[in-house]
């Protein structure tokens, strides 16, 4: 994965009880962020969140003093900074719980340092990017979506979208780069409607991809997070801004 990781002035807090992992994280981020501070357990981690107001928090789930889920929730009470979780479990069933507890992304051990750095950079960028709002125009990877005039184009050619596809795009672009769980998308698109319609979310996403992606099996606009949900690709054009 090629990422142009421009160094930011961000401060990253790493909460991990293993000194080796703290070292690895520190060295992986040295060319991405300005400052890395660390905490060895949940208690001191939470204190650091309040005192240092980091721009991003890297949290290891295997802390000795408290569960990662609880810590995520506690951090969210004080800070809106993105939380990237390090997990050793390769069971995806925990992902939704983590996302619901306020985590923004997760990396499974053993991770590649370049991929980890790219994810951290993406989350910092996401947190600093102004939300497009419901009236704005979202552009990414040759796709332009104008919610006001309800016009979508792929490489300047118009695309016809169904009302459900508009609703899915509107939900996902609310916070590009953020993972929306299946449940969150069900709720956003079908509101209080129950029954058969919801189970076809993935079919709608597949049809939508055929219209907006260059290659539907190498998606760049709507990205699948297995076992968790979907996220909208962060508009690269805005990165340098």
Partner 1 sequence: MAQLRSSAAKSVALWYGLLILATVIMYLARDRQESQAHVVLVYLLIVLGGSVSGGRPLGFTLAAASTILVSYYFQAPFDEFSLSKPVDAIVLSAFMATAATTTYLLVRAQEEAAEARARAEEIQRLSAEASHAAALREAARFKDILLASVSHDLRTPLTSIKALAQDAADSGDANSVIIVAQTERLSKMVAHLLDMSRVNAGAYPMSLEVNTVEDLAGAVVTEMMGANAADRVHVTIDYSAPALVGMFDFVETIRILTNLIDNALLYSPDSETVELSASRVGDWLQLDVADRGPGVPKDDVERIFEPFYRHAATSGTAPGTGLGLAIARSLAKAQGGTIEYAPRKGGGSVFTLRLPAVEDPGFQLDE
Cis-peptide, bond into residue 110, ω within 30° of zero:
yes
Among positions 7, 128, 150, 202, the unique one binding partner 1 when judged by CB under 8 A: 202
Query: How distant, in Å, are the alpha carbons of 24, 105, 165, 201, 219 from that of 210?
Result: 40, 26, 12, 15, 10
User: Can you say how many angstroms the Cα of residue 157 is from the centroid of all Cα atoms in its chain?
Assistant: 29
Using rule CB under 8 A, residue 83 touches partner 1: no
227 binds partner 1 (CB under 8 A): yes
Count of positions (residues) in the chain: 241
Determine the Cα–Cα distance for residues 52 and 30; give it in Å rounded to an integer: 19
C-beta separation of 86 from 61 below 8 A? yes
Which one of 2-10, 35-43, 44-52, 223-231 is the stretch in contact with partner 1 (CB under 8 A)? 223-231
Selected from 36, 145, 205, 212, the binder of partner 1 by CB under 8 A is 205
Query: Which x/- pattern over 106-125 shows residues binding partner 1 (rule: CB under 8 A)?
Result: ---xxxxxxx----------
Is residue 27 at the binding interface for partner 1, with CB under 8 A as the rule? yes
Q: Which residue stretch of 39-47, 118-126, 138-146, 161-169 sits at the interface with partner 1 (rule: CB under 8 A)?
A: 161-169
CA–CA separation, 17 and 116 (whole Å) = 18
Q: Which residues contact partner 1 (rule: CB under 8 A)?
A: 1, 18, 20-21, 23-24, 27-28, 62, 88-90, 92, 109-115, 160, 162-164, 199-200, 202-207, 209-210, 216-219, 223-224, 226-227
């Amino acid at each position: 994965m090629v990422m142009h990781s421009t160094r930011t002035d961000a401060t990253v807090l790493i909460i991990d009880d293993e000194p080796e992992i703290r070292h690895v994280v520190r060295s992986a981020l040295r060319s991405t962020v300005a400052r890395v501070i660390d905490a060895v357990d949940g208690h001191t981690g939470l204190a650091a969140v309040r005192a240092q107001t980091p721009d991003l928090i890297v949290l290891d789930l295997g802390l000795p003093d408290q569960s990662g889920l609880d810590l995520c929730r506690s951090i969210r009470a004080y800070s809106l900074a993105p939380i990237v979780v390090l997990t050793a479990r390769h069971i995806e069933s925990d992902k939704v719980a983590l996302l619901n507890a306020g985590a923004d992304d997760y990396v499974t051990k053993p991770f590649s340092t370049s991929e980890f750095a790219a994810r951290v950079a993406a989350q910092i960028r996401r947190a600093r990017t102004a939300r497009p709002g419901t009236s704005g125009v979202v552009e990414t990877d040759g796709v332009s979506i104008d919610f006001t005039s309800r016009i979508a184009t792929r490489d300047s050619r118009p695309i016809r979208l169904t009302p459900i596809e508009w609703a899915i795009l509107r939900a996902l672009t609310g916070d590009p780069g953020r993972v929306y769980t299946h449940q969150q998308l069900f709720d956003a698109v079908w509101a209080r409607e129950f029954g058969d319609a919801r189970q076809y979310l993935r079919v709608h996403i597949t049809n939508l991809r055929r219209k907006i992606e260059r290659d539907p099996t190498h998606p760049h606009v709507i990205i699948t997070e297995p076992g968790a949900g979907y996220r909208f690709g962060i508009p690269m054009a805005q990165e340098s801004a």
